[in-house]
Amino acid sequence: MSATSELLIGAMAFLWLVQGLPGPRLTSASEAPAGPPARGDVHTLGNPDQIRVTHVDLDLTVHFDRKEIAGVAILDFERQPGVGADVPLMLDTRGLSIVAVGTRASKADPLGPFAPAPIQLAPADPILGSRLSIKLPPDARQVRIEYRTAPTAGALQWLEPALTAGKAHPFLFTQSEAIHARSWIPLQDSPGARLTYSAVVRVPKGLTAVMAADSLVKPEEAREGVFRFAMPQPIPSYLIALAVGDLAFQSLGPRTGVWAEPSVLKSSAHEFADVEAMVASIEKRFGPYRWGRYDILVLPPSFPFGGMENPKLTFATPTILAGDRSLVSLIAHELAHSWSGNLVTNATWRDFWLNEGFTTYLERRIIEDLYGPDRAEMESVLGLVELHDEFKDVPPKDQVLHIDLTGRDPDDGMNRIPYEKGALLLRTMEKKFGRDRFDNFLRSYFDRFAFHSITTADFTAYLKDHLLLGPDDAKAIDLGAWLDRPGLPAGFAEPKSARLEAVDRTAKGWLDGAIATDRIDAKDWSTHEWIRFLQAMPEKVLAAKLAELDRRFGLTDRGNSEIAHQWLLIAIRNDYAPASARLKSYLTTIGRRKLVLPLYKALLATLAGRQQAEAIYATARPGYHPITVDSVDRLMKGAK
């Protein structure tokens, strides 16, 4: 124990903390040896295999004026057997200002003092951030870290009122996946290290805080801007999530509901009316929903993803509010993560396909249950198209499921391949072994690994013990080809859709001139059929034909974000001027990466387009999430 800390007892410790004097530091980097990576996770600087954080108690104050969360995190941890007393606790941080760090021996006295601890904050790695090493006295059981986030924190998006639906109040939301939790909470930011948490969140009066956790909110406290939460199930850190804004709630069923800004609450509740039935659909096949409530939070349009499966509270983009429930497969997807991902979790980011491939497969099973096999099959076919498109852009070594992300940002592996190739592996097994047998296998898999984080090797071992039993089974499913080789293995279960094939014939006829524009029979087309029709367009289409199509079907003015996206791609490639105002409004109001990135990419193909892209991006960039900004910045830089 250092001389400083010996002086600190009772009120003195409090004084040290509020004054924010830094604790004494370790003198050299060599005193804090790097721990072994957590189960091979190359994206953490923490050492959960040596000293594992099991719980964090958060006290967070949200400052909109300076775009900062001031936090206190009290971490419980367990030293693993055989780990020497000289090994420090190592945590991930990125851009955090560490104000004070203390340790104490027991949780028995919640008001007991924390003695300042020697720490070392290593120089920042551009991807991973800075390792925070805390030297622990032998009897230490808890550490207390007082810290502040940076205005540039990757997980946090601070929205000015103008960027919200209601335009009157600011909004904050977090996106911790993949390795952004460390930019707002000091912890072991590895999906292989699960923890429980509790939180008090203090926000400006009049705003509401929600977390992906059980709400312990008391109305009298909430009026003062104080909100309490608890997550009793052990989760990976990337599932810790917070949002603050002008939010209202509407119930959808006994255990489901929706949070949204008041102006979009009604349309959101209408769009998600089937959620209770979705929960029932998956429960009957794959076991109980183990998280209590399932609510959905509709975020402002700058949310970079379609959805994020934060437990108990999916975060969703408003771009799926189509009015006709045609884009709710996204909700089916996020809900399915309550089994694959949140319950059984990828232990490292190279196992990401275990989260996303399984979930994409389950999503289509839910869609089949609720909306019939035709629609599920259309969605599978469109998914395969996205997969083939991705193969064109991605080098062979990254077309594998078990991807090597060493030295790279795990966000680099988050393309369509883990989703669609992973889902096709499961689909192929279902067709080979029959649905009953495969469903039984999946159910046993979820039960066996519930609340565990597993690697691809864990999965294949279980698969070989429980499904690929005979030599013929192993031959039928060439795991090596799926996991470690590029492209798709021969004999994969290819989806087919008669309805989309009919659309293909219509598109071909129209392009050939055999079908006149006013003879296109699209009155019963779903969103999926429209997407297919627009995707069937070649690089160049005559301007007069596009104008005809637009006049008849009002494509430039379509509110459906996916149809508009496909149409705008065609408009860019063909310099179709009547859509340019719509393109600008689309790119400046939507921040969902999947929808905006391909449009910028298409614009960058020509010099004039590049100028247009730069002009639009200058306006749009302040409203995008850092994750989208990073992707578009890189695209722009690469094009120069």
Residue numbers at the binding site for Zn ion (CB under 5 A): 356, 359
- Is 346 within 8 Å of 355 (Cβ atoms)? yes
- Is 175 within 8 Å of 304 (Cβ atoms)? yes
Catalytic one of 261, 271, 334, 420:
334
d(CA 474, CA 513): 50
Q: What is the DSSP string of 443-505?
A: HHHHHHHTTEEE-HHHHHHHHHHHT--SHHHHHHS-HHHHHHSSS--TT------HHHHHHHH
- 3-class SS at 199? strand
Q: Strands (DSSP E) along 29-67, which ranges?
A: 51-63
571 closest CA partner among 613, 599, 605, 608: 599
Neighbours of 284 (CB within 10 A): 11
d(CA 488, CA 415): 16
Q: Which is nearer to Zn ion, 246 or 356 (CB)?
A: 356
Angle, helices 607-620 vs 580-589, to 10°: value is: 40
- Measured between its terminal Cα atoms, the distance across the chain in Å is 55
CB of 363 to Zn ion, least distance (A): 8
Q: Which is nearer to Zn ion, 291 or 525 (CB)?
A: 291
- Is 130 within 8 Å of 124 (Cβ atoms)? yes
d(CA 288, CA 370): 18
- Is 113 within 8 Å of 19 (Cβ atoms)? no
CB of 338 to Zn ion, least distance (A): 11
- 3-class SS at 576? coil
- 3-class SS at 256? strand
Give φ, ψ of 80 to 5 degrees. -75, 150
Q: Which is nearer to Zn ion, 207 or 426 (CB)?
A: 426
600 closest CA partner among 626, 574, 634, 577: 634
Name the token pair of 102.
Answer: 């203390």
* AA letter at 364: R
Catalytic one of 361, 419, 586, 617:
419
The set of residues, in sequence order, having a beta carbon less than 8 Å from that of 5 and lying 6+ positions away, is 23, 24, 115, 116, 117
Neighbours of 125 (CB within 10 A): 11
Task: Report whether the peptide linkage leading into residue 376 is cis, meaning its omega lies within 30 degrees of zero.
Answer: no
- Is 304 within 8 Å of 632 (Cβ atoms)? no
Please, what's the largest Cα pairwise distance for the chain? 90
* AA letter at 391: F
Give φ, ψ of 184 to 5 degrees. -135, -10
Instruction: Determine whether 419 is an active site residue.
Output: yes
- 3-class SS at 302? coil
Buried b (16+ CB within 10 A) or exposed e, 559-585: ebbbbbbbbbbbbbbbebeebbebbee
- Is 366 within 8 Å of 568 (Cβ atoms)? no
CB of 309 to Zn ion, least distance (A): 6
Bridge partners (DSSP) of residue 227 are 201
Classify strands 313-316 and 307-308 as parallel, antiparallel or unpaired.
antiparallel
CB of 536 to Zn ion, least distance (A): 27
Classify strands 256-260 and 248-251 as parallel, antiparallel or unpaired.
antiparallel
Q: Which is nearer to Zn ion, 120 or 380 (CB)?
A: 380
User: Which residues are known to be catalytic?
Assistant: 334, 419
